[in-house]
């Protein structure tokens, strides 16, 4: 990445982005003419994200996902969007609250404490510091979170390299990963197109977290308790599982959570609102984006989709007839691409699951295996305490409060007697239950996979906390109890995060105390300015202040500190915790290479499980987490030496097949792992060395045994190997 390439990308992206935002704002004024303030900002965000998503998916479908086609397409699409919005009219004066108010949920009385805004300010500062402290490690040696370097970031890099979203890619031994929706990865890929590297990726989830908070604020604002709802959102962001796994990583839950909350915030129409169709378009677009962000968000998105239909029908049945079609069309437009792609490639929208009706069976792929043999059953987990220890680690000491919330919210919303909140309370419970259906929860225990999979519960918990706090604010006692409970949850979560090491636990990966003080002072100052100005003038400078702070931060990270950013991966010490030996030598070598075609020995899932996290497990980890091999500028092509037979990933069984795959990929280098124990994994090294062209480019010893090595060979697939000697 050069400074000139970065500057050009930022200039072009700023130009295209400005035009798109202006066009979308005009369209939103036509769709929702009575919307203003934070609600309008949220609708604008949803529409901009939707437009960029659809344009990128269309380009990816035809193999044109590249910088200039994307920029030109966005500019071209902005013109008709502008024209479509010309007939619209809206209220632009943010002070004209009466023009935007309407009978309905917005007029319900709330007993939100006046001091709750100051609690939100302190909470935002604490959560902000917790999230921002993850940035320096990510920029020092790159993102190292497990799933991020397994398939999230490699998928984005593959999109950039190939320009296509329609190819079947193999990530390790599990073909099911290739069938997941990649809505969030599209934005990582766009960041790579703009900057020429993954420099923007650590910032992406922080941006989605901001959208999530804005959406919760809007939800509460429509029910006269914006600060309580915002506080509930901050509680979710403060949990250890959110801070450790979502902040400054390539994970996709944050986008899904933000879009789900945005849809819930805008879902309730005002009585007599003539823009029901426009609202349905925006809400449907947000639901579709949530479903496209991650497969585990499909259940929550479907539950909210049905819930929105019920809410609209209960509010005004005449609205329902005009809202269902635009709601469904917008949902399919933003959320259907990846499921349609799966249908074309694999014969089923969700090929990981065996679907069918009677004698008709849809396409089905076989996952590499499960960790069931390594984890106790549900009953065993309850008896041996593994479940409790897991949730205490990922949710904090008050973990039971989070698990009770999706059920307690039902009693709270029924007591409030608000139909929309009752429906959303039911949706939150269904969403929570859908998160427990993930296999990692059914086969759980103290194994780390259970801890990381606890993030699938966050959408249900988030909806429950926001909806429950909003409903509780309808009475003075309920508002006081809700505020107290949220403050206690927030304090315990912040305390738990301070006691939980980051993914990078090394001393140099932490922020010095001076940085913490500066960030804390900055967050407190900005937040304090917002509230002081709001109290004195009644205005809401959220967009201006937040936009200014975000702009200054981005400029500082991308321009002011080019040397700091340029050191990414230079001291890469492994792609996950627990990889021993000097494997960083191999990764450091890859970071200096450009334009190579690096084949990787197939990841052996069975050997990984059978090894019980021993030496073979560590070697296999390196084979699975291949993202560092893409290089600093992401110009190296990386692919496992295996093929997909239509159902599962098949590794080479003979030396001839091994070299056939290397020829197909036109490999210049191949990475192999030799445990030195005479196991089946050693055969890949032997097959590689059958060719006289194979020369060791770099080698690293891993583990206690000196015979265990990770090696990179220079190869010439055109030079015939002596496989039959």
Mean pLDDT of 467-491: 89
Cα–Cα distance for residue pair 145/186, rounded to 1 Å: 18
Mean pLDDT of 457-476: 92
Cα–Cα distance for residue pair 388/396, rounded to 1 Å: 11
What distances in angstroms separate CA 467 from CA 45, 407, 459, one per listed residue? 22, 12, 12
pLDDT digits (tens, 9 = 90+) for 400-449: 889 889 989 999 998 888 889 999 999 999 999 888 766 544 443 333 33
Residue whose pair of structure tokens reads 């940085």 in the numeric block: 515
Pairing mode, if any, of strands 597-600 and 637-640?
Answer: parallel
Q: Over pLDDT 90: what percentage of the chain?
A: 39
Handedness of CA 50, 52, 61, 258 (dihedral sign): negative
Structure tokens at 561: 């500190």
- Dihedral, 55, 58, 62, 67 alpha carbons, nearest 10: 20
- The pLDDT confidence band at residue 398, using thresholds 50, 70 and 90, is confident
pLDDT digits (tens, 9 = 90+) for 320-340: 878 899 999 999 999 999 999
Residues 6+ apart with CB under 8 A from 492: 396, 397, 398
Pairing mode, if any, of strands 360-361 and 597-600?
Answer: unpaired
Vertex 578, ends 576 and 582: CA angle to 5°? 90
pTM given for the model? 0.86
Range among 317-326, 593-602, 679-688 rated most confident: 593-602
Task: Tally Cβ neighbours within 10 Å of residue 646.
Answer: 13
Strand partners, 637: 597
Task: Tally Cβ neighbours within 10 Å of residue 166.
Answer: 12
Vertex 550, ends 547 and 556: CA angle to 5°? 140
- The pLDDT confidence band at residue 582, using thresholds 50, 70 and 90, is low
Cα–Cα distance for residue pair 315/95, rounded to 1 Å: 27
């Amino acid at each position: 990445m050069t400074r000139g390439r970065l500057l050009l990308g930022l200039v072009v992206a700023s130009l295209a982005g400005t035009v798109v935002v202006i066009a979308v704002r005009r369209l939103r004024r036509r769709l929702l003419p009575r919307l203003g303030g934070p609600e309008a900002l949220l609708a604008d965000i949803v529409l901009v994200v939707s437009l960029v998503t659809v344009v990128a998916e269309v380009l990816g479908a035809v193999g044109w996902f590249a910088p200039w086609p994307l920029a030109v397409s966005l500019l071209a699409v902005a013109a008709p969007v502008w024209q479509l919005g010309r007939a619209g009219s809206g209220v632009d004066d943010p002070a004209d609250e009466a023009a935007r108010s309407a009978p309905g949920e917005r007029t319900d009385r709330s007993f939100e404490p006046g001091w709750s805004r100051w609690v939100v300010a302190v909470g935002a500062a604490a959560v902000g510091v917790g999230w921002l402290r993850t940035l320096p490690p990510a920029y020092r040696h790159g993102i190292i979170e497990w799933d991020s370097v397994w398939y999230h970031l490699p998928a984005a890099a593959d999109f950039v390299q190939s320009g296509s979203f329609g190819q079947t890619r193999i990530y390790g031994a599990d073909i099911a990963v290739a069938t997941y929706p990649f809505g969030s990865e599209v934005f990582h890929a766009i960041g790579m197109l703009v900057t020429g590297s993954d420099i923007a990726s650590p910032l992406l989830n922080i941006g989605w977290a901001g959208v999530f908070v804005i959406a919760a604020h809007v939800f509460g604002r429509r029910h006269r308790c914006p600060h309580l709802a915002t506080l509930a959102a901050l509680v979710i962001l403060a949990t250890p599982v959110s801070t450790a796994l979502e902040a400054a990583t390539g994970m996709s839950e944050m986008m899904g959570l933000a879009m789900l909350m945005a849809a819930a915030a805008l879902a309730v129409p005002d009585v007599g609102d003539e823009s029901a169709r426009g609202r349905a378009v925006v809400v449907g677009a947000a639901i579709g984006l949530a479903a496209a962000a991650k497969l585990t968000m499909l259940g929550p998105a479907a539950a909210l989709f049905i819930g929105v239909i019920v809410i609209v029908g209960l509010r005004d049945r005449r609205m329902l007839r005009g809202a269902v079609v635009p709601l469904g069309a917008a949902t399919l437009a933003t959320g259907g691409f990846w499921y349609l792609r799966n249908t074309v490639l694999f014969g089923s929208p969700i090929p990981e699951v065996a679907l069918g009706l009677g004698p008709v069976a849809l396409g089905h792929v076989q996952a590499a295996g499960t960790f069931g043999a390594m984890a106790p059953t549900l009953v065993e987990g309850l008896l041996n305490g593994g479940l409790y220890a897991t949730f205490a680690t990922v949710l904090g000491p008050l973990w039971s409060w989070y698990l009770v919330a999706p059920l307690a919210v039902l009693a709270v919303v029924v007591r409030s007697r608000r139909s929309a909140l009752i429906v959303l309370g039911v949706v939150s419970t269904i969403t929570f239950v859908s998160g427990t259906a993930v296999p990692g929860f059914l086969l759980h225990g103290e194994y780390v996979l259970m801890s990381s999979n606890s993030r699938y519960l966050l959408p249900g918990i988030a909806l429950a906390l926001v909806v429950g706090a909003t409903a509780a604010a309808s009475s003075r006692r309920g508002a006081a109890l809700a505020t107290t409970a949220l403050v206690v949850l927030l304090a315990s979560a912040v305390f738990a995060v301070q006691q939980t090491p980051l993914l990078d636990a090394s001393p140099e990966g932490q922020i010095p105390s001076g940085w913490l003080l500066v960030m804390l002072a900055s967050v407190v100052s900005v937040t304090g300015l917002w509230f002081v100005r709001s109290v004195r003038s009644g205005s809401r400078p959220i967009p201006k202040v937040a936009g200014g702070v975000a702009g200054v931060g981005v400029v500082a990270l991308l321009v002011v500190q080019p040397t700091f950013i340029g050191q990414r991966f230079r001291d890469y010490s492994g792609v996950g915790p627990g990889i021993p030996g000097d494997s960083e030598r191999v990764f450091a070598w890859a970071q200096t290479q450009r334009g190579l075609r690096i084949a990787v020995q197939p990841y052996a899932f069975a050997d990984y499980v059978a090894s019980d996290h021993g030496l073979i497990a560590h070697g296999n980890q390196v084979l699975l987490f291949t993202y560092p091999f893409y290089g600093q500028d992401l110009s190296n092509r990386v692919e496992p030496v295996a093929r997909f037979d239509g159902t599962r990933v098949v590794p080479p069984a003979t030396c001839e097949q091994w070299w056939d795959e290397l020829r197909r990929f036109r490999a210049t280098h191949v990475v192999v792992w030799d445990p030195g124990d005479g196991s089946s994994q050693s055969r890949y090294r032997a097959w590689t060395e059958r060719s006289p062209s194979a020369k060791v480019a770099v080698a690293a010893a891993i583990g206690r045994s000196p015979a265990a090595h990770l090696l990179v060979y220079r190869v010439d697939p055109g030079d015939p190997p002596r496989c039959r000697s």
